[in-house]
Structure 1
Amino acid sequence: MSDRPESLPERIDANSETIDRELFKLVLTIVELVRQLMERQALRRIDQGDLSPEQVEELGLGLMRLEQAMTSLQERFDLTPEDLNIDLGPLGRLLGE
C-alpha cells in the first residue's frame, strides 16, 4: 500500500510535446510565489515606514512590471493563475486563494 495522496499523479507526464509547457509552468509557479512574497514584504515595509516616497514609487513600479510580465508569459503559454496554483495535497494550494 502506498502513502501517496490520491490527488497526486502516479508519475509525471513527460510527453515530449508537453514537456516544455509543463517545465515553464513550474518555473512560472516559482516566480509567482517569489513575486507574492516580495509584494507582501514590500507592503510590510511600507506600513512600517521604512521606505522613502521615492522608494515606495520605485518598488510599486517594479512590482507592476513583474506582474505584467507574468501575465504576458502566462498568456504566451496558455496558462491561467489556477494552473500555477499547485495542489500540495494535505497542505493545500501553494499560492493560497
Structure 2
Amino acid sequence: MVNEHKPTGKIALDPEKAEEGLSQLVMTVIELLRQLVERQAMRRVESGSLTEEEIEKVGEALMNLEEKMEELKEIFNLDDDDLNIDLGPLGNLM
C-alpha cells in the first residue's frame, strides 16, 4: 500500500484529517523545543560552564532525544519538511 504523503508546509485543517494535523502541530512544537534546548546546551559547552562529565551527559541526552524524534516522525509519517510550518508572511518556522 503506497501512502501519498506530500509535505505542504502547512497544518492540515481538513476535519477528516484533524488527527494528522494535530500530530504534525505537536511534533513541530516538540522539534522546536528540542532545537532550542540543543542550542542552549551548545552555548553552555562553548562558554566552558560545563564539566566534561556534564558535556558527556548532555551529548548523550541530545542524541537520545533526536533518535526519539526520528522514531516519532516515522510513526506519524512526518518528515523534516512537515515540521517546518509555513507562517505566511513571517516565513517558515525553522
TM range (shorter): 0.7 to 0.9
- What is the Cα-based RMSD across aligned positions, in Å? 1.7
Letter in 2 for 1:66: L
Q: Equivalences for 1:44-63 in 2 at 5 Å?
A: 44-63=43-62
Separation (CA, whole Å) in 2 of partners of 1:34 and 1:93? 16
- Tell me which stretches of 4 or more aligned residues in structure 1 moved more than 6 Å: none
Separation (CA, whole Å) in 2 of partners of 1:27 and 1:71? 14
Letter in 2 for 1:67: E
Separation (CA, whole Å) in 1 of partners of 2:45 and 2:82? 31
Question: What number of residue pairs does the alignment pair up?
Answer: 85
Q: 1:3 matched to which residue of 2? A: none
Separation (CA, whole Å) in 2 of partners of 1:34 and 1:78? 20
> Please, which runs of 5 or more residues in structure 1 have no aligned partner?
1-7
Separation (CA, whole Å) in 2 of partners of 1:87 and 1:21? 16
> How far 1:48 moved relative to its partner?
0.4
**Larger helix proportion of the pair:** 2
The TM-score with structure 2 as length reference comes to 0.84
> How far 1:20 moved relative to its partner?
1.7
> How far 1:12 moved relative to its partner?
2.4
Letter in 2 for 1:74: K
Q: Equivalences for 1:21-36 in 2 at 5 Å?
A: 21-36=20-35
Greater CA radius of gyration, 1 or 2?
1
Q: 2:14 matched to which residue of 1? A: 13
The TM-score with structure 1 as length reference comes to 0.81
Higher relative contact order (CA 8 A, sep 6+): 2
Q: Deviations over 1:62-93 (max 9, x none)?
A: 11111000000101111111001000111111
